[in-house]
Chains A and B, each alone.
Chain A
Amino acid sequence: MERFIQVVVDGIATGSIYAALALALVLIFRSTGVVNFAQGEMAMFSTFIAWGLHEGGLSIGAAIACTLVISFVAGMVIERVVIRPFEGGQELTLVIVTLGLFILLNSLAGWIWGFGNRGFPSVFGDGATEVAGVRLSVESLGIVAVLLAVVGLLFLLFQRTKIGLAMRAAALSPASSQLVGIRVGRMLMLGWGLAAMLGALAGVLVAPRLFLDVNLMGGVLIYAFAAAALGGFDSPLGAVVGGWVIGVSENLAGTYVDFIGADLKILVPLGIIFVVLMVRPTGLFGTHEVARA
């Protein structure tokens, strides 16, 4: 039983990392209708910045805090400079632009930091603690706590603040939003800033479990896509639940089903997604607009 709980909690922790990146994808998708393929590489770049700041002498916590702020600003700059000129054009064009950004950031990171890999310390250390008689890793519990806090803050932002309401309005109908005085461009910038920050968070949480190199987020991005698809691409709640379902199911299958093991475990969540999307094409929590003709 103890083993089972450990596997589930670790799965939720891994899933929380997928969920953080999936939330970033969902944020941008909701406001622009475009999937940002560069989200993972932006996160990788942020993680390198955190690593650089830590190497430069900052504590890992301070380095991460600085990185979140830098990523927020950089995300806004990317929207304004790279994305805005193509806004309102064809969605395919924007998708290609994000793919270009993917390649650019990947190469740029390699050029600056090289292609080797590095260790990245966990902000939570590598201790374990006992909860109700079960030994659990502090890191796993910390990751879950961070994600829950982030989800809570996002909920407050979007449901309880004026700027959050304006961001939702701008995503729903840019034209009507302008008529009530919302500067839609600024809302898009904010959305990209927030997404970049969420991605950075995913990066610094996952880096201690993998090695930091330019392809750090490649696998995570696939899982994040899967989480968003499973939960529904327009649903923040779906992104979180999707991430957890994937994290837990792959961990359980990898541990308890002998022939699956570590190599094939990715197939389990993908199988689940396949079945869910057959039954519910909008994902678990995705919605069609409710409208009366």
Chain B
Amino acid sequence: MSLLEVQGLCASYGPVRVLEDIDFAVDEGQKVAILGPNGAGKTTTLRALSGMVSTRGRVSFDGRDVAGRPTAAMARLGVAHVPEGRGTFESLSVEENLRVGAYIRRDGAAVKEDLARCYGWFPRLEERRGQSAGSLSGGEQQMLALARGLMLRPRLLMLDEPSLGLSPKLTRELFGRLGRIADEEGMTVLVVEQNANLALEFADYAYVLEAGRIALSGAAAEVIEDPGVRRSYLGG
């Protein structure tokens, strides 16, 4: 059984239907990418999983039916959602942002270790641990957002458009580190991304979302060879 199973998920903002009958699954330890053009419903998919929009359909996480649970409850089940725009607490310090990320955890000693591990993965954050998060550059803020997600020790890490506002070089670096961390930790990751090239290099499995429906899915290595995908998202 998959860690996350979604069946017939529909979501709407008021009268506007954004997701139509989506099915997908994420296995334990798998890295899954959801690709698609702007407005296809990628962000809404993650928001639906976090209980931030009204939805219909079945969502099961770790064998439990979790459809319609409030946002904070999903985090407490171990779903770390790094939202579009990063969700940084700008006037808190870098270290406070990381500590907030571990808010639901009760294992204080392990939180301290994880803080040290995050600083090991992202030395820039350690250099700036006392600075306010709002004073960081875009790339550093994205590192911080990712590290904040990791501080939850998530069962499932969901990343919304981590490349947003980053240079191609920084984006490559970010995905590189994320891939290494995920492999080291055996982490389950669901990433939504417009930069299909990098996302497909990173992921094991991919879904292509178009106009609120899943147009295509398969192992990342197959999806990257698909002529339609190459034409639409990979520049030929």
Judge if A291 is at the interface, Cβ distance under 8 Å.
yes
A287 to B81 Cα, complex, angstroms = 29
Judge if B228 is at the interface, Cβ distance under 8 Å.
no
Tally of B interface residues using CB under 8 Å: 30
**What does the 1/0 interface line of B69-96 toward A look like (CB < 8 Å)?**
0111001100011110001111110001
In the complex, the answer to whether A179 meets B75 with C-beta atoms within 8 Å is yes
Q: Cβ of A292: which chain B residues have Cβ within 8 Å of it?
A: 134-137
Binds A, one of B10-18, B97-105, B115-123, B198-206: B97-105
Find the B residue at minimum CB distance from A168. B92
Given contacts A165-B100, A291-B134, contact A179 B91 (CB under 8 A): no
Binds B, one of A180-188, A209-217, A224-232: A180-188
In the complex, the answer to whether A166 meets B103 with C-beta atoms within 8 Å is yes
Given contacts A162-B103, A172-B90, A173-B87, contact A180 B75 (CB under 8 A): yes
In the complex, the answer to whether B91 meets A180 with C-beta atoms within 8 Å is no
In the complex, the answer to whether B71 meets A178 with C-beta atoms within 8 Å is yes
In the complex, the answer to whether A176 meets B89 with C-beta atoms within 8 Å is yes
Given contacts A166-B103, A181-B72, A182-B72, contact A172 B134 (CB under 8 A): no
In the complex, the answer to whether A290 meets B71 with C-beta atoms within 8 Å is no
Judge if A289 is at the interface, Cβ distance under 8 Å.
yes
Q: Cβ of B92: which chain A residues have Cβ within 8 Å of it?
A: 165, 168-169, 172
Judge if B155 is at the interface, Cβ distance under 8 Å.
no
Judge if A222 is at the interface, Cβ distance under 8 Å.
no
Given contacts A181-B152, A290-B135, A291-B134, contact A176 B104 (CB under 8 A): no
Judge if A175 is at the interface, Cβ distance under 8 Å.
yes
**What does the 1/0 interface line of B145-185 toward A look like (CB < 8 Å)?**
00010001000000000000000000000000000000000
In the complex, the answer to whether B100 meets A183 with C-beta atoms within 8 Å is no
A184 to B100 Cα, complex, angstroms = 13
Would you give the shortest CB distance from A121 to chain B, in whole angstroms? 43
In the complex, the answer to whether B100 meets A180 with C-beta atoms within 8 Å is yes
A290 to B93 Cα, complex, angstroms = 11
Would you give the shortest CB distance from A172 to chain B, in whole angstroms? 5
Q: Among B72, B89, B96, B101, which residue has its beta carbon within 8 angstroms of that of A178?
A: B72
Q: Among B75, B90, B101, which residue has its beta carbon within 8 angstroms of that of A290?
A: B90
A179 to B89 Cα, complex, angstroms = 12
Given contacts A178-B75, A180-B152, A290-B134, contact A166 B100 (CB under 8 A): yes
Using a CB–CB distance below 8 Å, which chain A residues touch chain B?
162, 165-166, 168-169, 172-173, 175-184, 287, 289-292
Q: List 17 A-B contacts (CB under 8 A).
A: A162-B99, A166-B100, A168-B92, A169-B89, A169-B100, A173-B89, A175-B71, A175-B83, A176-B88, A178-B70, A179-B50, A180-B104, A180-B152, A182-B103, A184-B72, A291-B134, A291-B135
